[in-house]
Structure formats: structure tokens, C-alpha cells
């Protein structure tokens, strides 16, 4: 994540130039200087509104990262633990930016505890670490349910759904399963990474991302992941059975293992690993190895 995405500033600058220009033309055509004054007033109002988001992001990026949060991440995230000092600072800034931009609430809009909000953001910061130009694909925020799971009717404490990624809705996650995913070990299970991967997948398809995979020419992301799914040997796979359900679950489960146990995934499925390495533009094996010392 960039503190202020360049794209945003580009549009603000274009608008900020156009508004007084239109006012000037109106003045010249009509002979009424009041029209130019009106344009200047409009410009001031526009800048007040348009700069709110970049200023909010700057404030968030510059806010100190509490030592308590750092300790918590060190004990919970092998990925964070393995980052060097500058990597950790960028991770922390991404956590702050994510939290400034993304609604994270309990069911019914209740507030969530700081460790929960921190782990939600840590999932996004982990996955975005190699893609500083990407923004989290969570337009509708995150809703946290109490307990380990909820059922089809979103009743907490029942059923077996630990998380869900509805298109056009908030990411849903059960709080205790979220914490369990960040228990600090390398078991390849992390519900936050799994559900976030679904949104990254959707965004990459919508945005027309192309990857080279091992083809001569880059192919659309949807094609690349479909080919990987079709050639995957599920009988010999370290991925859970659920990954065989369809290509979306395949990618989500593979992403969990990519970030949680990359050494195992890289050793058993090198082609799949290479595809994810290209997608996320990072190789978490080095980070995990550094964190083991």
C-alpha cells in the first residue's frame, strides 16, 4: 500500500486545475468576474473534500505503532517475525493504513478488540507485502462473529463456517478461528488469509491481471489458476481435501499454505508455488527462514 496512492493525487491535481480554468473561461466569455470568484470558492471546497482521504492516510501512516502490538505480532505471525527492520516498518504502516480505510466491526456493528483488529489487518499486510501498489480488495470491510464458527443463517456458535467471502459484501470471519489461524505456528491454516485470497482472486480477474506462469506469453489470471487447478495432483497434494472443490478454493487453500508453510508448499508443488510467487510478488520462504533463527 502507498501512503497516498499516486493515482488519487493525479486526479485531484487534474480537477484542481480544471475548476479555475472553467471559471476563467466563463469570466472571459460573459465578462462577469464573479464567475471566476465562484470557481475559486468551488476549488477551495473541492480541495477540502478531496484531500480528506490522503490526509487521513498520512496521519495513519505516521501514527506510532504501540509496543504492545509489536509484541503481539511477534508472537503470532512467523511472517512478521521474519521481516527485517525496514520490512517490519512497512508492515506496520500497512496495518495502520488498512485500519484507517477498512471498516472492521463485530456482528451488529459492535466494536472489536485491538488484537482482533490487528490480526485482521495483519492478514492484509502479509498478502500485500510484495505488492506495494495494490490496495486491499475489501470494499465492504470485515465483520467479525464471536466464537469458532457460524451457520448458514449467520448464527454464531453454530454450524461450521469459520469464514466466508461473499462477493459484494463484507468478509466474514469467526473471531476464535481468526486467532487460531494466527497461533504463531506453521500449520498451513489461516482463515483470514483464506478469505482474503478469495477477494484478491476476484479483484485480479476483474482488473485483468496477467501472469506469465510458465507460459511463453502472459495469460489472464483466471486462465493461469484454472490450468494450475487442472494439472494439480490432489492425491499427492499437501493441500486439504477442500482445495479440490473448485479453482477458487484451490487458490484460497494454496494461499494459506503459501504464507503459513511456504517451505513445504515450495518443496511439494514447485509449479504452484511459482505461480503464487508471481501473483503475490514475493517469496515468503526467505522470510520464514529468517524468522526461525
Minimum CB separation of residue 253 from Zn ion in Å reads 7
Minimum CB separation of residue 195 from Zn ion in Å reads 7
- CB nearer Zn ion, residue 225 or residue 287: 225
Q: Which of residues 204-263 bind Zn ion (CB under 5 A)?
A: 249, 252
Q: Which of residues 154-173 bind Zn ion (CB under 5 A)?
A: none
d(CA 40, CA 45): 9
- CB nearer Zn ion, residue 27 or residue 154: 154
- CB nearer Zn ion, residue 115 or residue 159: 159
- CB nearer Zn ion, residue 69 or residue 279: 279
| Residue 197: all three cell numbers together | 485470497
Minimum CB separation of residue 243 from Zn ion in Å reads 9
Answer whether 78's CB lies under 8 Å from 184's CB: yes
| Residue 202: all three cell numbers together | 476476484
Minimum CB separation of residue 252 from Zn ion in Å reads 4
Strand partners, 142: 104, 171
- CB nearer Zn ion, residue 211 or residue 243: 243
CB-hemisphere CA count at 13 Å for 180? 12
d(CA 255, CA 258): 5
Closest CA to 127 of 225, 193, 28: 193
Minimum CB separation of residue 225 from Zn ion in Å reads 13
Strand partners, 144: 106, 173
- CB nearer Zn ion, residue 193 or residue 252: 252
Length, in residues, of the chain: 293
Minimum CB separation of residue 242 from Zn ion in Å reads 7
Q: One symbol per residue from 43 to 82: x for binding Zn ion (CB under 5 A), - otherwise; what is it?
A: ----------------------------------------
d(CA 48, CA 5): 18
Minimum CB separation of residue 110 from Zn ion in Å reads 25
- What is the tally of helices (H) and strands (E) in the chain? 14, 6
| Residue 268: all three cell numbers together | 511439494
Name the closest residue to Zn ion (Cβ): 252
- CB nearer Zn ion, residue 114 or residue 234: 234
145: alpha, beta or left? (left if phi > 0; alpha if psi -120 to 50): beta
149 belongs to the binding site for Zn ion (CB under 5 A): no
Interacting residues with Zn ion (CB under 5 A): 249, 252
Amino acid at each position: 500500500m502507498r501512503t497516498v496512492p499516486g493515482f488519487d493525487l493525479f486526479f485531484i491535481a487534474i480537477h484542481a486545475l480544471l475548476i479555475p480554468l472553467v471559471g476563467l473561461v466563463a469570466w472571459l466569455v460573459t465578462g462577469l468576474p464573479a464567475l471566476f470568484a465562484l470557481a475559486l470558492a468551488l476549488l477551495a471546497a473541492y480541495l477540502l473534500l478531496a484531500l480528506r482521504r490522503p490526509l487521513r492516510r498520512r496521519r495513519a501512516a505516521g501514527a506510532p505503532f504501540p509496543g504492545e502490538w509489536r509484541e503481539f505480532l511477534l508472537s503470532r505471525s512467523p511472517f512478521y517475525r521474519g521481516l527485517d527492520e525496514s520490512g517490519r516498518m512497512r508492515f506496520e504502516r500497512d496495518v495502520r493504513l488498512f485500519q484507517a480505510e477498512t471498516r472492521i466491526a463485530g456482528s451488529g456493528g459492535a466494536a472489536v478488540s485491538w488484537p482482533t483488529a490487528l490480526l485482521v489487518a495483519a492478514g492484509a499486510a502479509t498478502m500485500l507485502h510484495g505488492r506495494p501498489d495494490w490496495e486491499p480488495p475489501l470494499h465492504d470491510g470485515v465483520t467479525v462473529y464471536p466464537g469458532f464458527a457460524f451457520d448458514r443463517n449467520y448464527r454464531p456458535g453454530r454450524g461450521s463456517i469459520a469464514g466466508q467471502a461473499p462477493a459484494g459484501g463484507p468478509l466474514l470471519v469467526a473471531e476464535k478461528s481468526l486467532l487460531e489461524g494466527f497461533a504463531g505456528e506453521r500449520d498451513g491454516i489461516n482463515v483470514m488469509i483464506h478469505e482474503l485470497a478469495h477477494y484478491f482472486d476476484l479483484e485480479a480477474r476483474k482488473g485483468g491481471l496477467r501472469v506469465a506462469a510458465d507460459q511463453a506469453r502472459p495469460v489472464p489470471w483466471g486462465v493461469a489458476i484454472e490450468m494450475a487447478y487442472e494439472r494439480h495432483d490432489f492425491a499427492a497434494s499437501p493441500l486439504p481435501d477442500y482445495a479440490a472443490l473448485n479453482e477458487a478454493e484451490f487458490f484460497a487453500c494454496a494461499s494459506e499454505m503459501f504464507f503459513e508453510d511456504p517451505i513445504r508448499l515450495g518443496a511439494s508443488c514447485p509449479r504452484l508455488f511459482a505461480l503464487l510467487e508471481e501473483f503475490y510478488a514475493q517469496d515468503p520462504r526467505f522470510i520464514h527462514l529468517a524468522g526461525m533463527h
